[in-house]
Chains A and B, each alone.
Chain A
């Protein structure tokens, strides 16, 4: 699945559920994170092959060197937020529908941004 398809799937799941409860919220977050990672992997494939093998932390540190800085920053913070939501912790609450919705829209922005950056670089 492409990054956009994964994001669409996450949106669908969130819209169906209406209210994000428990596993459904985790599933939405996981799908979105996968979409984000796919978009980044796509970038590496075109720009710096092999980077996708490195840790995500390293990848996010490298991202500003290959993409628009604002997009790279948004990608990093959204990834951190989505990763947090993927792990259900006893002391933490599940993300709200509002929050999930905002992260999905941020993910969309990052996917579009990364694609645009690559095109303009070419």
Chain B
């Protein structure tokens, strides 16, 4: 947004204070409108970069016309050139109907815009008849332009190949000493639409009728409020986007709920309750994100436990059985060996030693040998015992291994899982497994290792059944998880959207408020900015209306969208009238002109010219006089070219002594069109001088004062013309050119500027003129001094000599 507009909006925000959130929305819309629609917005960070330069800085350089050349276009056959003086001033192009003058203005408009308002509305026959019948050669329209900051002429040319239609042309732009450029590079497209420096007769009539919305748009565009509509639209778009997203979320929820209704899962019912009229987002989140392992759902839990039953592995069982058998066998073998006998002998000796310990030496109680138990015997027995025990250890170990093998075998007898008994309730048949497992878990009736090993080897008969139960449960469990996954995903997706929407919904109110605020502020700013334009239009209307009883109360840009229009309040003899209906055709034309000038001559426009075709047709003489004044006023700062078909405007211009160049257009046979200059501002002063000099009744003393004065004015006007053309063509800034001309407040300075391009070289003027001849120098002197009443020569001769000097001056490059 341009900074001027932003400044105004900020000022208004300070005054009306619509609340911090609304202010934030308004500023974001103004500074970074694209951020409003993308969710991750950060307005503050971009503020600095988003302010664009004021539009005045980027407007293209200013332009005056030097000449327009037309060949083979409508009424014009062989090439015709209208030469103009670059710079402010009024030029009237006068020609009868059919003389080819409108072809000139049409061609110029087509050159710059590619089409013509006068033709756009016409039918095919019209559009096809644009080519000159007498001219078989390619058609060409060319304009030489003096562009500010651009040395030399810029020549814009549009050419049509033979037989091409109006829309098929090529435009070239040539600049002195530069490579050819494109028309686009001039940057005029927008300005041509916004400031439209052309006004044709047909537009004059339609400007306020069919073109009411068009005129609104054009006037609105030049007010520089486009950025405002961008901002307003961004706000509306942001709001619509949120509303649209909410709709999408609602349909997402619909889909989710349909999935829930179709689901067998226990969680579905709960979620349906949670997503009722006012969805409980956090509740839904809790269900969806809960760890499914902690679920106490009956079915799922049972399946989970069934899937986790520990079915004895045949390999493990077989290994245990084998280990048991071999351990039992080893233990049996150990009993049959010396080791077993040794252990038993050792036990006997242990008991005998214990007897001897209690009762001392004596007869042997077993064999009766007297004094069998003695110290001697005791020593012998102890040695015997140690020997026997070592022998017995081998048998002990075999026994220990057997005990371990039995324990290991017992661990294979897994207890019956509780879940197995309930398997029926989830539709899994488990009876064979159940029966097998029960027998298995109970163990053998006989506790001998052999019986146990036999029991273990009976596994194969039922464990397949148990494995099948386990696999069925795992499969069912997988199915349930699989079925829930898409539902859960849909739920999480919806949840994410719904949460974002919940935050966004809070913004809708602010966005709406910001939109309303900006609209209102925009209307106020528009009215404010349009006011000076409207005032100028009213002023022009007052000058134009003259004897009309209709007055304009106010001009406003009213309404919006399709109802937008330029509203003109009309007062008839001071009381409010029925708008435009009461106005005559001439008055409507005058009003159209009044609206045309302020827009076309805005300071921001690069076009320092206006081309108007036949504005006087429906005007009464008094209005023509008013028009002459308006043209004079406009011509003070602009190059005004008016084409007219009768003598009323030139006559008014002459009568009111409005400085103007008048050229006549005449059409000969074969579309040969000629342009003749009949009057220019220099000429007018000289003619005035001649009229005064020739008046026989006028005292000589008065002639001696007045004629040199008028001749001096002619010379000054010539100097201005020369200086303007030279400097504008050179590309000087327009203001600098006008300042230089304004600074030349004496004839010697004007001449210095014209001759040497240096206002301070006044001293060189007289010697230079003497080089041209003493007559020239004398004439200059007479005009310079004579105005103070010192002239003594023949006034009529002075006029003629001045004419000669003007001619010579105009040859200065």
Residue in A49, A58, A91, A95 with the greatest tally of chain B CB atoms within 10 Å: A58
Which residues on B sit within 8 Å (CB–CB) of A84? 621, 625
- In the complex, the answer to whether A76 meets B698 with C-beta atoms within 8 Å is no
**Which residues of chain A (74-122) have a CB below 8 Å from chain B?**
76-77, 80-81, 84, 89, 91-96, 99
- In the complex, the answer to whether A54 meets B657 with C-beta atoms within 8 Å is no
- In the complex, the answer to whether B621 meets A57 with C-beta atoms within 8 Å is no
Which residues on B sit within 8 Å (CB–CB) of A18? none
Cβ contact of A96, chosen from B547, B657, B706, cutoff 8 A: B547
- In the complex, the answer to whether A93 meets B620 with C-beta atoms within 8 Å is yes
- In the complex, the answer to whether B699 meets A92 with C-beta atoms within 8 Å is no
Which residues on B sit within 8 Å (CB–CB) of A48? 699, 701-702
- In the complex, the answer to whether A65 meets B706 with C-beta atoms within 8 Å is yes
**Which residues of chain A (47-84) have a CB below 8 Å from chain B?**
48-51, 53-55, 57-58, 61-62, 64-65, 73, 76-77, 80-81, 84
- Cβ distance A37 to chain B, nearest Cβ, rounded Å: 15
The CA-CA distance from A94 to B701 in the complex, in Å, is: 40
- Cβ distance A38 to chain B, nearest Cβ, rounded Å: 18
The CA-CA distance from A92 to B549 in the complex, in Å, is: 15
- In the complex, the answer to whether A53 meets B657 with C-beta atoms within 8 Å is no
- In the complex, the answer to whether B698 meets A95 with C-beta atoms within 8 Å is no
The CA-CA distance from A93 to B619 in the complex, in Å, is: 12
The CA-CA distance from A65 to B702 in the complex, in Å, is: 9
Which one of B245-253, B334-342, B687-695 is at the A interface? B687-695
Interface readout for B528-567 with A: 1 if CB under 8 Å, 0 if not?
A: 0000000000000000001101000000000000000000
- Cβ distance B395 to chain A, nearest Cβ, rounded Å: 150
- In the complex, the answer to whether B710 meets A99 with C-beta atoms within 8 Å is no
Chain B residue nearest in CB terms to A59: B698
Which residues on A sit within 8 Å (CB–CB) of B622? 92-93, 95, 99
Which residues on B sit within 8 Å (CB–CB) of A76? 657
Residue in A65, A89, A96 with the greatest tally of chain B CB atoms within 10 Å: A65
In the assembled complex, B47 has its CB within 8 A of some CB on chain A:
no
Given A48-B699, A50-B699, A80-B656, A58-B692 contact (CB < 8 Å): yes
- In the complex, the answer to whether B547 meets A55 with C-beta atoms within 8 Å is no
- Cβ distance A110 to chain B, nearest Cβ, rounded Å: 15
Interface size on A, residues (CB 8 A): 27
Cβ contact of A99, chosen from B546, B656, B702, cutoff 8 A: B546
In the assembled complex, B709 has its CB within 8 A of some CB on chain A:
yes
Which residues on A sit within 8 Å (CB–CB) of B16? none
- In the complex, the answer to whether B702 meets A50 with C-beta atoms within 8 Å is yes
Which residues on B sit within 8 Å (CB–CB) of A89? 621
Which residues on B sit within 8 Å (CB–CB) of A93? 547, 620, 622
The CA-CA distance from A57 to B656 in the complex, in Å, is: 12
- Cβ distance A77 to chain B, nearest Cβ, rounded Å: 6
Given A65-B706, A93-B547, A96-B549, A81-B698 contact (CB < 8 Å): no
Interface readout for B612-626 with A: 1 if CB under 8 Å, 0 if not?
A: 000000001110010
The CA-CA distance from A54 to B621 in the complex, in Å, is: 28
Chain A residue nearest in CB terms to B546: A99
Chain A residue nearest in CB terms to B688: A61
In the assembled complex, B124 has its CB within 8 A of some CB on chain A:
no
In the assembled complex, B425 has its CB within 8 A of some CB on chain A:
no
Given A61-B688, A93-B547, A93-B622, A50-B709 contact (CB < 8 Å): no
Cβ contact of B625, chosen from A49, A50, A81, cutoff 8 A: A81
Which residues on A sit within 8 Å (CB–CB) of B692? 58, 61-62
Chain B residue nearest in CB terms to A44: B702
In the assembled complex, B735 has its CB within 8 A of some CB on chain A:
no
- In the complex, the answer to whether A91 meets B621 with C-beta atoms within 8 Å is yes
Which residues on A sit within 8 Å (CB–CB) of B620? 92-93
In the assembled complex, B655 has its CB within 8 A of some CB on chain A:
yes
Which residues on A sit within 8 Å (CB–CB) of B787? 65
The CA-CA distance from A99 to B621 in the complex, in Å, is: 14
The CA-CA distance from A96 to B550 in the complex, in Å, is: 12
- Cβ distance A74 to chain B, nearest Cβ, rounded Å: 12
- In the complex, the answer to whether A92 meets B710 with C-beta atoms within 8 Å is no
The CA-CA distance from A96 to B551 in the complex, in Å, is: 13
- In the complex, the answer to whether A54 meets B706 with C-beta atoms within 8 Å is no
**Which residues of chain B (146-186) have a CB below 8 Å from chain A?**
none
Interface readout for B670-713 with A: 1 if CB under 8 Å, 0 if not?
A: 00000000000000000010011001011101100110011000
- Can you offer 24 A-B residue contacts whose CB atoms are under 8 A? A48-B701, A50-B699, A50-B702, A51-B702, A53-B697, A54-B698, A54-B702, A57-B691, A58-B692, A58-B697, A61-B691, A61-B692, A61-B710, A62-B702, A65-B702, A65-B706, A80-B655, A91-B621, A93-B620, A93-B622, A95-B547, A96-B546, A99-B546, A99-B547
A positions within 8 Å CB-CB of B: 48-51, 53-55, 57-58, 61-62, 64-65, 73, 76-77, 80-81, 84, 89, 91-96, 99
Given contacts A58-B695, A64-B709, 7 further A-B contacts (CB under 8 A): A51-B699, A57-B691, A58-B691, A61-B692, A65-B702, A93-B547, A96-B549
B positions within 8 Å CB-CB of A: 546-547, 549, 620-622, 625, 655-657, 688, 691-692, 695, 697-699, 701-702, 705-706, 709-710, 787
Ordered nearest first, which 8 A-B pairs have the shortest CB separation? Answer: A50-B699, A54-B698, A53-B697, A58-B695, A54-B697, A62-B706, A96-B547, A54-B695
